[in-house]
Amino acid sequence: MDNALQKDRESVSSMFNNIASKYDFLNHLLSLGIDKIWRRKLLNFVKVHNPEKVLDLACGTGDMTIALYKSGFEVVGADIAEKMLDVARFKSSRISSGNTPPPVFILASADSIPMSDNSFDSVTITFGIRNFEDRKSSLKEIIRVLRKGGYLSILEFATPRNCVWRGLFNLYFLKILPLIGRFISKDMKAYTYLPESVKSFPQYGDLCKEITDEGFTDVHYKSLTGGVAVLYTARKGVK
Ligand SMILES: C[S@@+](CC[C@H](N)C(=O)[O-])C[C@H]1O[C@@H](n2cnc3c(N)ncnc32)[C@H](O)[C@@H]1O
């Protein structure tokens, strides 16, 4: 396997631990701030179903977790990288949102979620699923912890399908972004891993099929910014 694409838990967590302190800055810089618009799209989807309890898997530094909390939802954020969680805990300690209990952050992997069956109304994953070591087991775990009728929403990068847009995107994503990422983070691997992991990740209908195969219903996707990112949504059937 290409060394840049090692997806075992150890390699992935140490890579994210290594860039945790620069992650937010680079995230917003490299996405030109558009990641905030994408997260808002996912948040709007969650809001429609008005869940009580949300699990934000691969929560990283907690931007999505905190946005969910600010919208009044009880949220648990889970991630395998302790230093990413430290940043998330610090950020969430500085805000309060009415009577909603503050987010709880736990060190846990998506393929082994330490929560009981049917305990969440909604599961969200923003830019995390691409990094999972075992996607199939993770989807099984997600459907287990979701209550019947609960929703899964996933934001993930993709490759635009329009060839002109794809050409421009590839120039930025494959050539410019790794250089800036490497320069600022001083991490030689993480910002090579990012485009490589997007290239090798199932997109659009292919990911929908994987989600459907694990028993989810109402599986849909919506391209964002011409297919640079995709919002996938699915439901745990009510029967
Ligand atoms: C690109 S970051 C995304 C963080 C955050 N959700 C966001 O939108 O900024 C990917 C995160 O996935 C986490 N991750 C990777 N594999 C995981 C797994 N199996 N279970 C839980 N978290 C995982 C990493 O530690 C990292 O924090």
Residue ranges in the chain modelled with pLDDT below 50: 1-3
For residue 132, the model assigns a pLDDT of 97
pLDDT at 32: 86
Query: Rounded CA gap, 216 and 234, in Å?
Result: 6
Phi-psi region of 107 (alpha: psi -120 to 50; beta: other; left: phi over 0): beta
What pLDDT is attached to residue 184? 86
Q: Cα of 161 to ligand 1 centre, how many Å?
A: 26
Residues lining ligand 1, CB < 6 A? 12-13, 16, 27, 57-60, 63-64, 78-81, 84, 109-111, 126-128, 131-133
Helix 9-30, helix 190-199: angle, nearest 10: 90
Cβ neighbours around 114 below 10 Å, total: 11
**CB atoms near residue 215 (< 10 Å):** 12
Mode of pairing for the β-strands spanning 74-79 and 104-107: parallel
Q: What angle do CA 204, 149, 142 make, to 5 degrees?
A: 60
Domain-by-domain residue ranges, the chain? Answer: 3-236
> Which pLDDT belongs to residue 2?
44
Backbone angles phi, psi at 157, to 5 degrees: -70, 155
Whether domain 3-236 has CATH 3.40.50.2300: the reply is no
Selection from 200, 207, 136 nearest residue 2 by Cα: 200
pLDDT at 201: 94
CA angle (150, 153, 84) in 5-degree steps: 115
| pLDDT for res 174 | 87
What is the 164 CA–ligand 1 centroid distance (Å)? 30
Question: What confidence score (pLDDT) does residue 1 get?
Answer: 41
